Structure 1
Amino acid sequence: MSIYLKKPVRGLNLLEEGSIEYSISSQRPKDSKSIGILNLMPNKYETEAQFIKLFDSMKQSVYLRFIRILNHEFKNSYRSYLENTYETFENIKKEKLDGIIITGAPLEKIAFEEVNYWSELQDIFDFIEGNVKTSFFICWAAQAALYHYYGIRKYTSDKKISGVYKHYKVEEEKILDNLSFPLNCPHSRYSGISRSDLENNHGVKTLLNSQEVGELLLFHENKFFILGHIEYDREVLKSEYFRDLSRGIDAQTPKNYFPMDNIKEEPIYSWRNEGKVLFSNWIKYYL
């Protein structure tokens, strides 16, 4: 089926020409599911491209709406682009969304209340609760949503979790249909969630778990929380690793990512199909 976009985004320029079929539509096509993507990642174009590829070739047509935060001063290179291309959440509220995705952000070491758009994000969380069929929160956004909805706190570490880890099924849920286990998924974070808070939660279920890095996918009342980055392209962990080195950070080589841990080799893209299946199931069963 088709991918529809409200406006052409620059992430399209990062895709191989002709590799993705898409259409631009000012209004939601009748045959599509409307999905908002609140893009909090610093590399806006790369994130756009990742999600467009993720939703390519699915059985259900999707209408992707990229959303921006108002109370944040983005880099100059992004400001005018976001204002002209992305929608605000106030505009989105006027039109029905079937589902919403909120991406991660490099804010793990900052208390939620100290994030300059925390109040705005809380308003978005509150609106989602009763007005959107299903939601998918990724990495930092998953930690923020778990904290907002259930009081599940995060912890931070000086050591970064970076690499591709194996995850195993803990409970049955339709979103896991047709996935192979153990499931590989990249992680790139300095934080995690409090186990004690999770054990005293309000019905939040752990669906996927890793012996090495803990919880991956959690679920409660049509809300999904993934602590890894199943949407990442092959090269993202590599780019982050070399970026950290260039900043003088004593970064460890991402685990289970480069063949034989040789950073000169092309990384192993072992999670590509799993990401497509996971989000395809999300659309099929929950939207």
Structure 2
Amino acid sequence: MPIKIPNDLPAAAILEKEHIFIMDSDRAYSQDIRPLRLLILNLMPVKQVTETQLLRLLGNTPLQVEVDFIYTESYVPTHTSQDYLTEFYGTFAEVRHKKYDGFIITGAPVEQMPFEDVAYWEEVSEIMEWSKSHVYSTFHICWGAQAGLYYHYGIPKYDVAPKIFGVYRHHLCQQNEPLFRGFDDEFYVPHSRHTEIRKEDIEKVDELTILAESDDEAGVYAIANLEQRQFFITGHAEYDPLSLKQEYDRDMAAGMPNVNVPKNYYPDDDPARLPVVRWRSVANLLFSNWLNYYVYQETPYELDSLCRYQDNI
């Protein structure tokens, strides 16, 4: 089944070339199907890149998915035009009365700042609180995961040096967990971050379960409050094959100190060679499992009946 996206969204042309089945808003209205309704809070500076990465994965399932995008009003990104945001995005104020089957909070390039110093922290905090009563399952990515763990459970983040940068081997910590159904015993995921959350802090919170972690220095990878269907993913399974290369090339061109070659990425660690993609199947399974097991199979048909928490908003 297709993923429904706004008419003329630039990501559509890329996805069509990859044979990802999409439909625009006009065609979707003629379908007599109750699609899954997803909301994406896109905190990345270049919105189109992250849109395409996520839509590629959300569209690779037999489910019909309808996506709304929002950005923060308290800080307008400088790498995406206001015209683009006006055409394809909404604000929290415009969707706060709605209910959603699923919600994705992306990463953001603010990880080295204290949470309270981030320009849009109060707004993101309000959105995360709202999600408890208006969303059936929430999927947090990278900084979004750190922000969610801090806001909901008080778990801090810590600076790391050097940067955790590369493609790292992981293993499962829980057997028969639906989110990782079909995964191999070992699997690889990209990471790119200057901060970490620590296992000992997570283990102090009874509601949280560590689902997967790195065999190397990337640490904890997937954490969940399974009862409330909240997932916190510290890596970037959604990354394109060249995402780490682009980050590495950017940092080298900017003359940043101590820029390391991404680990387990280039053959023989040679940046002159094309990277090896080891995480494509991981990304597709991760997102399709989340949609299937934690959104589609359990969400109420009538979203207005969604009331996991008392609605005080």
Q: Same fold (TM over 0.5)?
A: yes
Question: How far apart are residue 18 of structure 1 and its match?
Answer: 6.1
Deviations 1:173-231 (CA, angstroms, capped at 9, x unpaired) = 21111111211100000000133321211321100011321100111020000000011
Q: Secondary structure of the equivalent of 1:133?
A: strand
Answer whether contact 1:167 1:185 (CA < 8 A) is retained: yes
Structure 2 unaligned spans of 5+: 296-313
- From 63, 67, 76, give the equivalent of 1:64: 67
Residue 251 of structure 2 corresponds to residue 244 of structure 1:
yes
Confirm or deny: 8 A CA contact 1:164 1:184 kept in the other structure. Answer: yes
**Displacement after TM superposition at 1:258 (Å):** 0.8
Post-superposition Cα deviations, 1:56-110, rounded to whole Å, max 9, x if no partner, equal 3311111111111111032164222112210112222233210000000111110
Matched letter for residue 220 of structure 2: E
- Alignment of 1:225 with 2:229, yes or no, is no
Which TM-score applies when normalising by structure 2? 0.87
Matched, 1:19 2:19: yes
Matched, 1:216 2:221: yes
Deviations 1:135-178 (A, max 9, x none): 00000010000000000000012421110011101013211111
SS at structure 2 position matched to 1:260: helix
Two-structure CA RMSD over aligned residues (Å): 1.7
Letter in 2 for 1:279: F
Amino acid in the other structure paired with 1:226: I
Alignment correspondent of 1:192: 196
Gaps of 5+ in 1: none
Alpha-carbon spacing, 1:229–1:77, altered in 2? closer, same or farther (3 Å): closer
C-alpha deviations, 1:245-281, integer Å up to 9, x for none? 1111121000001111111211111111111111111
- 1:78 maps to 2:85: no
Partners of 1:16 and 1:57 in 2: CA distance: 12
Contact 1:6 / 1:63 at 8 angstroms: preserved in 2?
no
Tell me which residue corresponds to 1:39: 42
Aligned equivalent of 2:158, options 155, 158, 162: 155
Map of 2:126 onto structure 1: 123
| Aligned residues with identical type, % of pairs | 37
Decide whether aligned partners of structure 1 residues 24 and 16 sit closer, same or farther in structure 2, where only a CA change above 3 A counts.
closer
CA distance in 2, matches of 1:58, 1:239: 28
Shift of 1:14: 4.1
| Structure 2 CA distance for aligned equivalents of residues 7 and 87 of structure 1 | 14
Cα distance in structure 2, aligned partners of 1:109 and 1:146: 16
User: Which residue of 2 is the match for residue 282 of structure 1?
Assistant: 290
Quickly say closer, same or farther: Cα 1:2–1:13, change in 2 above 3 A: closer
Amino acid at match of 1:247: A
1:89 aligns with 2:92: yes
Cα shift at 1:13: 4.1
| 2:237 partner amino acid | I
Q: Is the 8 A contact 1:150 1:202 kept in 2?
A: no
- The TM-score normalised by the length of structure 1 is 0.95
Q: Distance in 2 between matches of 1:16 and 1:4?
A: 13
